[in-house]
Structure 1
Amino acid sequence: MRILQLLTDTNIGGAGVCIENYLLGRMGGGEVFAALPKGGKIVRRLKAAGAKVIELDIAGDVSFSRGDIGTIKDLIRCIGPDIVHTHGCLTGRIAARLAGGCKTVYTKHTLGGGGGRAASLVNAAVTDMAVAVSQAAAIELMAAGLPGKKIRVVYNGCRPVPELSRSAARTAFGLTEDDLVTVCVARLEPVKNHTELLKGFEKAAGGCENRKLLLVGGGSLYGKLGGRAIYTGELVDITAAYRAADIFALVSLSENLPLTLIEAMSAGLPCLVTPVGGVPEVADADTALFTGTSAEEIGTGLTQLFEDGALRARLGAAGRSLWEEKFTVEGYARNLDRVYGELVQRG
């Protein structure tokens, strides 16, 4: 089977990481191409994972660009894939229809968005199968007019966070062994609710100087938030961030099924999360501590985790076990290949 993965992200986001994880988890057989805009930050990682990467002169970070249809159509005709799997790239699915000879798959990585009735009709017409990474996403796809028979739920998977000594990880960020560190790995955008996280952390940290907050990610709010935190910017390798931490926090206003939560669980970190979107499909009261979105609620949750080492240990161990059971890259790749096989068999 020949598969073409298409994305327009120029940053290292969930779509690109999902492609990387698929490549790392699959058992071999066939060819996987990955096409994306020139200069994409995840190019090196996709190559290392085994993709045949093609950088295109197409618009970045947009779902639809009329001027790029021809470029992508020519690529599809040149490669001759059985499957064209697009990640938010409506242009790619239209191009695949015009090129012919292949099936189209679309993964919905985020909740919300959409372009109204006309866009929904076009999406349904050019999509053979949609992959929803959560039940919440599947419900949203059906509400937008995509028939249920065209939707398959495939939960994200990730590799375990690599081992790294705690001291080496902490040294990378100027942290000491005595620090009690909360990490948040998320784009610095309003939907991720960093403003309330910072306020809640201030409440929980109080006068304890060893309580630290590590914020990993770039975005429109980078350099604008201030507060008592260490800002790393966007990191190509976030191993040290997870291995330096004692607690993981993700207090977003909206999420689909966050890869960073799964990664944190693989690292055995206790997690403080808001139960939004697909998050409750990953975590429950046995594997995470739920919080509301206000600074007061976040502060209460962080305080509980700061002061209860046994709770941190219990949640961390339970989260790691759940990751091993449901969210490995091997399971993710196997389930995605099942979707591809189903489409190819239909002819």
Structure 2
Amino acid sequence: MGSALEKLCDQSFGAKRLHMLGVYMQRSWVILTATCLCLLPIYLFATPLLRFLNQDEMISELAGTLSLCMIPQLFADGLNFPIQKFLQAQSKVMIMAVVSAAALASHIFLSWLLIVHFQLGLVGAAASLNIAWWILVLGQFAYIAMGYCPGAWTGFIWGALRDLGAFARLSIGSAIMMCLEFWFYMFLILLVGKLKNAVAAVAAVSICFNLFGWELMVFFGFNAAISVRISNELGAGRPKAAKFSILGVIMSSILLGLFFFALVLVLKNVYGLPFANSPTVVHAIAGLATVFAFTLLLNSVQPVLTGVAVGAGWQWLVAYINLGCYYVVGIPIGYRLASKFDLGVKGMWTGMLSGVALQTLILIGITLVTDWNKEAKKADSQIKKWGGSVIDER
């Protein structure tokens, strides 16, 4: 629900309408806090919900306890995401890194203190996380409130509460786009759990997803960078610069993707060893090396294209594309390969890969045929539309 802020803040910064950044951040706070309240029942009733899904009783009880303890983190995350996008739009990433490092250091110390020294277990772990998240929120907001974002932050204003409907509609499109993409991988794990030798299969897929997450963080950096750059350039009315930025970041990501692709194939028999001591699981991971390598290659480009989509404001279009490619094509093909053709987890992952490949090809095609001059003209009217009639009042 917060990813809509990327487009609006970045385009406003490019158009030199700095005062709107603070307005957008406050609107996003309202919407994300409301979203947190909607999610709150899941945290409050996690144990009965997991029992309803026939999960293990001990896991249900522990997960329910952790969920209750992590409610403060839920609201901290709702406040933190808009702050990050507000700072990111102005390229103030160094302060974000410094505050994040301080939060991480405090988290490590508090984890040792509460979990190891005071033996507080799960409750101590939750307390450590909550404190670290609130250090992140308060540290970044203190930087903003002390006047280090002149023009962009002019204090709290009532105008931020106006035109929430249009802002929420764009937010919902972003949320659907992102959820359809991330839930796709969660569905894969659920379906793999129904295959033969499910324990080894789920372990192998989970380990690959862990490695996949590490690689993906690199390309999420590209995603954020291209989203900010595209929105800045469109907001500033520079379509040629936007096109050049897309070309540069795609070439960089492909080169990195080829490196990870080759690395997995070269190390296919050993890259699972640090994560598992079961020969069955290590063998299953090695068997996934080819499809896993192609997944890393495709997902070097896909996050970049998603960043372009967010920067250009195509959230709803990409949501429909994700729905078709992942859930109409990817999951059915994967399940059929796994169950009917007895290809197991490799078949399931191949189906997933087909959905990602189709989505990537469609996004490449859309990016190539887009009239970026038209997008630049549209950006100014969109800033006015979602900006609404804001007056600088406190």
TM-score by length of 1: 0.34
Larger RCO (alpha carbons 8 Å, 6+ apart) = 2
TM-score by length of 2: 0.31
Higher Cα Rg: structure 1 or 2? 2
